[in-house]
Chains A and B, each alone.
Chain A
Amino acid sequence: MRARLAILWMTFRELRKDRGSWTFLGLSVIWILLAYKFADFAMFEAERYAASFLHAGMVLWGVLWVLMETLALMIREYERKTLWVYLSRPLSRAAYFEGRFLGFVLFLTLFTLLWILGGGSILQLVHRTMAHPYGTPVDLNRELFRLAAVGVALALLQAVLFFLLSFFESPLLVVVGGFAVFLVGTTLEEVYRFLLSPTGQAMFPASFQRVVDQLEWIWPHFDYLLRTPESHPLGIVAYALAYIFALIELGSLLFERREFT
């Protein structure tokens, strides 16, 4: 546990001191402030537009942050062999792997808190100054929960990247692979629904539909987290946390057996 905590804290400090992290935090603050201005253009629907703008911004900057920082910190460490130094110390590879992941998650927690606090303040402000009786009402608590769910989705993406890092050597494969998993995970549900429609059934063979059906079970469903349906919001978060746990444990096992060149 001591080694895991040491690696966690070291990773968090690296991210805190990295210029890239501050750039993304700065861009996030600008985006949050822009949400107020954007709502101003939306007439009756100011609240709904502001909420959507915030949600989209958190997904955009969050995904970019996760991809860029993983590339910047982890891959550099692999390529310049700093990893050799850490793994030659008296700690298990699992401790290193999990500590590194948890360090990223700790920083993501701060990133999510920034969006929840900043976004919540902006939504309150829009509600007080621009809410219109004909506009669609926005439930503040639900919107904040949706932002928190984006944070969980980012942690899931981080877990996917770490899982890929456990066996891939090429930085490009890790980032492209991670982004591809994210893209497929956000569109899988739509693809599946399309395949069930009469047009989809006419266009694609039944075997393809079966493949997508199976993928639905094993692929990380970013779509659920980003849409956060009202019927079972906590279930979705529990699903993501279980998926993260499974990915990191499996990644640890692969990392433990990996050879470094």
Chain B
Amino acid sequence: MDTVVIFENVEKWYRFRRRRIHALQDFTLSLRRGELFGLIGHNGAGKSTTLRLLLGLAFPSKGQVVLQGRSPRDPRARQSLTFLPEHPYFFEGFTPLELVEDTARIYGLPRAYTRERTRILAEHLQLQAYLRIPLRKLSKGNVQKVALLLTFLPDPEILILDEPLSGLDPPSRHQVMALLQRMHREGKTILFTSHILTDVERVCTRIGLLIRGRLRRTLTPETLQSSGKTLEALFLEELQA
């Protein structure tokens, strides 16, 4: 398996009143193609900073981030990557179909492919009835589903999902998890953050515990099982250490 994401001794700090505030310290992580990696951490642990560095929205203060062999700032590195933010917001006058058109134009997707893929994804996410309704008239959960549809639309190789399950009811959460597992089976690399530890525990092939800007541990389902503890218990243990 080849490595698609590399964080090498990354540090990220911000200056606030002449003081350095460390968001990430000595952060080293590699994601191999086809991994489903869950990044968990407390509020302010540095999850968003990690994602921003990976998307090229912020730059490391030290160390380097490599995405598909290039700098994340290079648009070619993001050709087969999509990102879902925690609280997705799009212009409320647009319908989901219009957003699909815009996304397809940016990724350069053929029309027939876009139409077919939208149909399939809308069916999976149960969004068929809402595709022509402006976002301002949709519920928060349905807007989240529209954002997921846009994330899956270009059939990306790498998916970066920030709290993909927030705002979804249990059946929708189940559908999304099933969709993620299916994409994982298809060989996609998925990095996601979540506060719902049971879901992370259930689907991830590797889990990273981010505590106060440091990647304290990475776990596999096997190491988790052999520890005889739940993910939540391990996480709390690390947090208090």
Residues of chain A touching chain B, judged by Cβ–Cβ distance below 8 Å, are 2-3, 5-7, 9-10, 13-14, 17-18, 73, 76, 80-82, 84-92, 95, 259-261
Residues of B close to A2: CB separation below 8 A = 105-106, 108
Q: How far is the CB of A57 from chain B (nearest CB, A)?
A: 27
> Are the CB atoms of A259 and B75 closer together than 8 Å?
no
Task: Check: B113 CB closer than 8 A to any chain A CB.
Answer: no
With a CB–CB cut-off of 8 A, which chain A residues contact B83?
84-85, 88
Which residue of B is nearest A257, CB measured?
B59
With A14-B91, A84-B55, A84-B85 known as contacts, the answer to whether A91 contacts B98 (CB < 8 A) is no
7 more A-B contacts (CB under 8 A) besides A85-B83, A261-B14? A2-B105, A18-B91, A81-B85, A84-B57, A87-B57, A88-B56, A89-B82
Cβ–Cβ contact A90 & B57, under 8 A: no
- List B residues 55-93 near A (Cβ within 8 Å): 55-59, 75-76, 78-79, 81-85, 87-91, 93
Which chain B residue shows the least CB distance to A81?
A: B85
Interchain CB contact under 8 A, A91 and B75: yes
Cα–Cα distance between A85 and B91 once the two chains are bound (Å): 13
Give min CB distance, B23 to chain A, whole Å.
Answer: 10
Closest CB of chain A to B173's CB: distance in Å?
A: 21
A-B contact count (CB 8 A): 84
Selected from A80, A81, A90, the residue in CB contact (under 8 A) with B78 is A90
Q: Are A18 and B93 in contact (CB under 8 A)?
A: yes
**Once the chains are docked, how many angstroms separate the CA of A18 from the CA of B58?**
31
Q: A-facing mask of B136-147, CB < 8 A → 1, else 0? A: 000000000001
Known A-B contacts A2-B105, A17-B91, A18-B93; A87 and B79 likewise in contact (beta carbons under 8 Å)? no
CB distance from A252 to the nearest CB of B (A): 14
Chain B residues contacting A18 (CB-CB under 8 Å) are 91, 93
Q: A87-B57, A89-B78, A261-B58 are in contact. Are A80 and B106 (CB under 8 A)?
A: no
B229 near A: Cβ within 8 Å? no
Residue of A at shortest CB range from B88? A85
Instruction: Write out the residue numbers on chain B whose beta carbons fall within 8 Å of the beta carbon of A14.
Output: 91, 93-94
Interface size class, chain B: 20 to 34
Binding site for A on B (CB under 8 A): 14, 52, 55-59, 75-76, 78-79, 81-85, 87-91, 93-94, 98, 102-103, 105-108, 147, 150, 160
Please report the C-alpha to C-alpha distance between residue A57 and residue B66 in the assembled complex, in whole angstroms: 53
How many angstroms from the CA of A95 to the CA of B106 in the assembled complex? 11
Among residues of A, the one whose C-beta sits closest to the C-beta of B105 is: A6
- Give Cα distance in the complex from A85 to B79, angstroms: 13
Contacts of B106 in A (CB 8 A): 2-3, 6-7, 86, 89-91
* A88 and B89 within 8 A (CB): no
Q: Give the most central of A76, A80, A84, A91: most B CB within 10 Å.
A: A84
Partner of A259, one of B59, B82, B87, B108: B59
Q: List 30 A-B contacts (CB under 8 A).
A: A3-B106, A5-B105, A7-B106, A9-B102, A10-B102, A13-B94, A14-B93, A17-B93, A18-B93, A81-B85, A81-B87, A82-B91, A84-B57, A84-B83, A85-B83, A85-B85, A85-B88, A85-B147, A88-B78, A88-B83, A88-B160, A89-B78, A89-B103, A90-B75, A90-B76, A90-B79, A90-B81, A91-B75, A91-B106, A260-B57
With a CB–CB cut-off of 8 A, which chain A residues contact B147? Answer: 85
Q: Which residues of A contact B52 (CB under 8 A)?
A: 84, 260-261
Taking the nearest CB of chain A, how far is it from the CB of B224, in angstroms? 30
- Chain B positions within 8 Å of A76 at CB level: 89
Which A residues lie within 8 Å of B75 (CB)?
3, 90-92, 95
Decide: B93 and A82 in contact? CB cutoff 8 A.
Answer: no
Task: Give chain B residues whose Cβ lies under 8 Å from the Cβ of A85.
Answer: 83-85, 88, 147, 150
- Output the residue of B76, B88, B91, B98 with the most chain A CB within 10 A: B91
B81 CB contact (under 8 Å) in A9, A82, A88, A92: A88
3 nearest A-B residue pairs (beta carbon): A17-B93, A6-B105, A80-B89
Complex CA–CA separation, A17 to B134 (angstroms): 10
* Cβ-defined partner of A17 (8 Å) among B94, B107, B160: B94
Structural contact, A80 and B91, CB atoms closer than 8 A:
no
- Selected from B58, B102, B150, the residue in CB contact (under 8 A) with A260 is B58
Q: How far is the CA of A76 from the CA of B103 in the complex (A)?
A: 19
Docked CA distance A259–B150 (Å): 25
CB distance from B105 to the nearest CB of A (A): 4
- B102 A87 Cβ-Cβ under 8 A: no
Nearest residue in A to B151 (C-beta to C-beta)? Answer: A85
A261 to B49, CA, bound (A): 8
- Tell me the minimal C-beta distance from A86 to chain B in angstroms: 8
Bound: A259/B14 CA distance, A: 11
CA distance A3 to B78 in the complex (A): 13
